[in-house]
Chain A
C-alpha cells in the first residue's frame, strides 16, 4: 500500500473524519450532525452497492431504490406484526431482497443498453405502486415503526450506537468490494464492461456473472434500506420513488464511477449540497432567499446537468487519475 497515494489517504481521511464526527458533535453540542451523517452514510452505502454493477460491470440500473424499499419495509412490516428481533428482520430483508433481485435480474439482464435502463426503472416503479396500494401497511402515508430493530447486545435507540453500526456496515461494504473487484469474479465483470462479446468468446457464461453481481449490489442496497428504516423509524413509499434511483446514480457519477471510494465521496457531497441549498441563508435579499429555499430542487437539477456535461470523471475519480498520471510521469 502506497501511503502517499490519494487512493489511500483520501478514503483514510474521510473514514477517520466520519469516525470522529460523533465526538465533535458532542463537544459542539450539535447532535443534529449525527443524524445528518447517519443518513449520508446510508446513502453512501446504497451508492456503493449500485456502483458495483454501474461502475464495474457497466449496467446502468435506474431502479435500485426498489431494494432500499425492500430493506425498509422488512423492518416496518415485521415490527408491525410484533417481530422486533433485528437479526430476524435482517434475515427476512436479505432473503426477500435476494429472491426479488434474482427474479428481476433474470428478466432485466436479458436486455441491454437503453432497454435495461428503462426496464429497471419500470420494475422499481412496480414495487412503488405495490406498497402504495398496500393499505394495511399505511399505503401512501407510509408505516411508522414503533421500535428500532432489537439486536440484543447493542441498542440502536442510542444514536451514537446506530451511527457506528452504520459506519461499520459502510466499512464492511468497502472492504467487501475492494476484495471483490480484484477477485476473478470482479475481473470477469470488468471484462464484461469493456467487451462482453469477447468475454463470451473466451468461454465465460457472462449472464451468470452479471446476475450474481446484480444480486450482490441489490443486497447492499437492502441493508442500506434496513438501516434507513431504523434511522427514521419510518418505512415510506418515498424511499422507493424513482428520483431516489436517479439520486443514487448521480452520487456514484459525482464521486467517480468505477472507483472504489468514489460513491462515498459523491454521496457526502451530493447530500451536503442538498442540505445547504435547502436551508441556505446568504443574507442578500429576503425575496430571493425565500425563492431559493423553496425551489432549491431546480438548482439541484442544474447541478446534475453541470456534472454530466462538464465533470464526467467525478471528483474522486479525477483526483485518483491525476495522481496516477503524475506517478507515471
Chain B
C-alpha cells in the first residue's frame, strides 16, 4: 500500500469533511436556537454554487473569470436568499412541530430545483478551477492540487472564525444563550427574532461558501444539494444536534472515513476474498460506511458524540 496514496486520500477526506462542516454549522446552529430544521439548506448550497458559477462565467462590470468576484456573488447571493426564505416562509413554522417543518422545507427543495433547472437548464453548469489555483502544491514531498488545498485552508479558517464568533463576541454569547434557553433570552430584552434571522443568514452564507468551493470540483446541477444535505444530516446527528464542536469533529470523521473507505475498502477486500466478490461488495460496503458509523454512535450515545445540554 503506497503511503503517498494514503496521504493524498487523507487530504481529500479532510477537504470533503471541511465542506460538510460548512453546511453542518449553519444547520446545527439554527436547530440549536429555534429548534428548527431546514431541509432546504442543501438548496442554499446549490444556489450558492450557481450564483458563483454564473458570476465566474459572465462578465459583471466588464470583469470576467474573477474568483474573488464569484465568491462575493455566491456568498452574498445565498445569504440574501436565506434571509428571504426565512422571513417569507420559514418564520411561520417555528412554533409548528418538526413534521411541518420537514414537509414545508421539502416543498421548498422541489421549488428551488425547478428554479435552477428553469434558469440554468437541466444539464451540468461548469465552473473552471481559477488559473492561479489550477497547479499543484508540494506537501511533504507529494504533489497535491492547490485548489483542493485552498478548500481545506479556507474551510479551516472559516471554522476558526465561526468558533471565535460564537465563543468570543457578544453576538456569539447571545447565540449560545439562545441555544440554552431562547425564551429567557427574549425575556431579557434581546430581539430573538432578529438574532435568528442573522444566524440564518450566517448559515446560508456558510452554505454559499461551500457551494462556491464545490463548484469547480463537482458538477453544478439541479438537485446537487440533496446528497450532500443527507450526509450533513448524518454529520449533525452523529456530532450531537445543536453542537458546533460536534459538527466539526463529526464532519471531519465522516469526510475522512467516507473517502478512505471508498478507495481502500475494495483494495482491502480483494486481499481477503475472491476478486469478483470484492469488486461487487467493496463499493457497496464503502457507500454504507458512514451510515453504519452513525448507527454505531447512536446505539451507544443516542444524543450524539457531543450532546448539548438544554437548560
Chain A interface (Cβ < 8 Å from any Cβ of B): 54, 60, 62, 107, 110-111, 113-115, 117-119, 121-123, 125-126, 129-130, 132-136, 242, 246, 249-250, 253, 291, 294-295, 297-298, 300-305, 307-309, 312
Contact = CB atoms under 8 A, between A and B. Distances in A.
Nearest to B102: A117
B165 interface: no
B295 interface: yes
Given A110-B299, A113-B98, A122-B291, A298 B237 contact: no
Contacts of B241: 114-115
A253 B291 contact: no
A246 B226 contact: no
Interface size class of B (residues with CB under 8 A): 35 or more
A126 B288 contact: yes
Given A107-B298, A298-B115, A304 B104 contact: yes
B107 to A, nearest CB: 3
Contact of A304 (B37, B92, B107, B288): B107
A301 B111 CA distance: 5
Main secondary structure of the interface of A (DSSP, over half): helix
Contact of B114 (A132, A253, A295): A295
Contacts of A250: 103, 106
B233 A118 contact: yes
Interface of B: 31, 35, 37, 89, 92-93, 96, 98-100, 102-104, 106-111, 113-115, 117-118, 226, 230, 233-234, 236-237, 241, 280, 283-284, 286-288, 291-292, 294-295, 298-299, 302, 304
A297 B114 contact: yes
A194 to B, nearest CB: 13
B99 A253 contact: yes
B167 to A, nearest CB: 25
Contacts of A113: 98
Q: Which of B98, B107, B111, B292 has the most CB atoms of chain A within a 10 A radius of its CB? A: B107
Contacts of A126: 287-288, 291-292
Q: Which of A122, A135, A249, A253 has the most CB atoms of chain B within a 10 A radius of its CB? A: A122
Contact of A303 (B93, B107, B294, B295): B107
